């Protein structure tokens, strides 16, 4: 394949698609992990109960179970990927809006059931969007395309994590949830405008093929031992920062910040850092191999967790809040971009939905199960001790890079 110039690699329609689908993919997740916990805390729900709400992310862990069906079957409209995208986006729009019509202090189980439904529809949308992006991008474009996707994914968090809290100071929560849900129309519009990728003819011929062949293909390519090591790496690489951000909004509230300060100061700082990360990270991912990006961005990711530990000691200080939030968005965003590019590189486009669903499901394991204990941990050791614990938990994943993605990994360098 001809090497793309930097201009050709950055300014093309495929990268624009990565941005808008990333936004649509990220919005529901941040509703669950930023807006809902903040809403529950504002309504007086305990930290322990909020921490247990991380278990509603179980669909993100088990999405590989139903991903073969999305690889094999399609709706009689829009094509194999776009049909599923449209259906999941519409169900998410309705489900997110429905939160505003529940009183969490009176019926916490209704909140839990609805959150589980949003997680299921969101995980299903992720399956299809990840597969579509893998089919859309060449190996040369994986680094930049996934970097743009991740940054847009995190930018979407400014809606439920910033705008929503600013609005909540001026209007009832049911109106806030309706407004946040309306942003899913962005995804709907993109789905209706784009075309199917070029891998359509490679769809599995039976549900058996859709289930068995993706796993067989991955093991045959890597070997059983290496395949298992890669899967363990996917679990551990994001463990520390995933736990560090699990109770981010309740942490800010406990530090005494108002909802408007959380919305304006914290998220605005995050947006600025995001734009810096988008400019720097995207260009770096064009020039740097995926393996080296995992090393460099991984170290920044770990150090960014210490910003929250510092904020826990400093307390209610808007400048410290802005620094901690900006550093976190920069570090974790860069680390995630390299990580997602690595996962994409491990997939075969023919089985993209199932293989990518398996890989990303493993990355959701710490967010779902380890994060469920975060509230209890904080109540035992405090916020500062908790963030130092998160730093320690991030180290094993970095050490595994020595085997999974060495600094001089020739194969991964080819994709950069």
Q: How confident is the model at residue 415 (pLDDT cuts 50, 70, 90)?
A: very low
Answer yes or no: is pLDDT of 416 > 50: no
Q: Which domains, from first to last, does the chain contain?
A: 6-413 (1.20.1250.20)
Contact between 360 and 123 (Cβ < 8 Å): no
Q: Say if residue 76 is exposed, middle or buried (CB neighbours under 10 Å; 0-12, 13-18, 19+).
A: exposed
Asked if residue 2 has pLDDT above 60, the reply is: no
- pLDDT band with cut points at 50, 70 and 90 for residue 187: very high
3-state secondary structure at position 263? helix
The answer to whether the CB of 138 falls within 8 A of the CB of 8 is no
pLDDT per position as a tens digit, 278-328: 666 666 766 777 788 888 888 888 888 888 999 999 988 888 888 888 887
pLDDT of residue 290: 76
pLDDT for 86-128, tens place per residue? Answer: 999 999 999 999 988 888 777 778 888 888 899 999 989 988 9
Q: Give the separation between CA 355 and CA 348, rounded to whole angstroms.
A: 8
Residue 55 has what pLDDT?
Answer: 67
Cα separation, 278 vs 287, in Å, equals 14
- Of residues 308 and 329, which shows the higher confidence score? 308
Give 339-351 pLDDT, tens digit per residue.
Answer: 877 887 788 777 7
Mention every residue, 6+ apart, whose C-beta is less than 8 A from residue 279: none
| Bigger pLDDT: 331 vs 177 | 177
For the stretch 232-269, pLDDT in tens is: 888 888 888 878 877 777 888 888 888 778 777 766 77
Burial 82-106 (b: 16+ CB within 10 A, else e): bbbbbbbbbbbbebbbbbbebebee
Q: Distance between CA 108 and CA 111 in Å, rounded? A: 5
- pLDDT, one tens digit per residue, over 200-215 is 556 666 767 777 777 7
Of all residues in the chain, the percent with pLDDT exceeding 90 is 14
Query: Among residues of the chain, what percentage have pLDDT more than 70?
Result: 83
Q: How confident is the model at residue 1 (pLDDT cuts 50, 70, 90)?
A: very low
pLDDT band, very low/low/confident/very high, at 192 (cuts 50, 70, 90): very high
For the chain, the average pLDDT equals: 80
| Distance in angstroms (rounded) separating the CA atoms of residues 84 and 413 | 33
12 vs 82: which has the higher pLDDT: 82
Listing DSSP states for 135-166 in one string gives HHS-GGGHHHHHHHHHHHHHHTTHIIIIIHHH
pLDDT given at position 151:
76
Model pLDDT, residue 265:
76
Q: Average pLDDT, stretch 386-415?
A: 79
Q: What is the reported pTM?
A: 0.68
pLDDT of 88? 94
More confident: 48 or 227: 227
Q: What per-residue confidence (pLDDT) applies to 414?
A: 47
Neighbours of 169 (CB within 10 A): 13
pLDDT of residue 178: 93
Kind plus residue range of the DSSP H or E element containing 323: helix 318-346
Q: By mean pLDDT, which of 179-188, 280-289, 325-334, 405-414 is the weakest?
A: 405-414
pLDDT, one tens digit per residue, over 130-169 is 888 888 877 677 777 777 887 788 788 888 887 888 888 8
Q: Rounded to an integer, what distance in angstroms lies between the CA atom of residue 216 and that of residue 284?
A: 34
């Amino acid at each position: 394949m001809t090497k793309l110039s930097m201009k050709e690699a950055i300014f093309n329609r495929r990268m624009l698609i990565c941005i808008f689908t990333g936004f649509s993919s990220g919005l529901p997740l941040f509703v669950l992990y930023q807006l809902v916990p903040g809403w529950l805390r504002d309504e007086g729900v305990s930290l322990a109960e909020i921490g247990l709400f991380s278990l509603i992310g179980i669909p993100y862990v088990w999405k590989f179970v139903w991903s073969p069906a999305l690889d094999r079957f399609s709706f009689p409209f829009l094509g194999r990927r776009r049909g599923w995208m449209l259906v999941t986006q519409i169900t998410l729009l309705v489900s997110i809006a429905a939160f505003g019509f529940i009183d969490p202090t009176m019926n916490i189980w209704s909140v839990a059931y609805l959150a589980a439904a949003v997680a299921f529809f969101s995980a299903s949308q992720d399956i299809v969007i990840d597969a579509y992006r893998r089919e859309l991008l060449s190996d040369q474009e994986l680094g930049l395309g996934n970097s743009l996707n991740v940054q847009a994914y995190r930018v979407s968090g400014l809606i439920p994590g910033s705008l929503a809290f600013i609005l909540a100071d001026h209007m009832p929560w049911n109106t806030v949830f309706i407004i946040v849900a309306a942003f899913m129309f962005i995804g709907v519009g993109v789905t209706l405008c784009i075309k199917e990728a070029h891998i359509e003819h490679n769809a599995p011929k039976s549900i058996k093929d859709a289930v068995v062949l993706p796993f067989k293909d991955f093991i045959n390519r890597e070997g059983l031992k290496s395949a298992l090591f890669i899967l363990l790496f996917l679990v551990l690489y994001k463990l520390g920062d995933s736990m560090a951000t699990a109770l981010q909004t309740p942490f800010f509230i406990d530090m005494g910040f108002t909802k408007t300060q959380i919305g304006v100061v914290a998220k605005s700082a995050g947006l600025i850092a995001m734009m810096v990360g988008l400019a720097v990270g995207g260009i770096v991912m064009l020039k740097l191999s995926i393996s080296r990006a995992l090393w460099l961005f991984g170290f920044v990711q770990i150090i960014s967790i210490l910003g929250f530990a510092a904020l826990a000691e400093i307390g209610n200080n808007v400048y410290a809040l802005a620094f901690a939030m900006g550093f976190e968005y920069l570090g974790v965003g860069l680390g995630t971009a390299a990580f997602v590019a690595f996962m994409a590189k491990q997939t075969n486009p023919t089985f993209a939905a199932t293989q990518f669903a398996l890989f990303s499901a493993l990355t959701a394991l710490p967010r779902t199960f380890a994060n469920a204990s975060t509230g209890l941990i904080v109540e035992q050791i405090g916020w500062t001790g908790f963030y130092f614990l998160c730093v320690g938990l991030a180290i094993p994943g970095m050490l595994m890079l020595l085997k999974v993605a060495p600094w001089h990994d020739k194969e991964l360098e080819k994709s950069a």
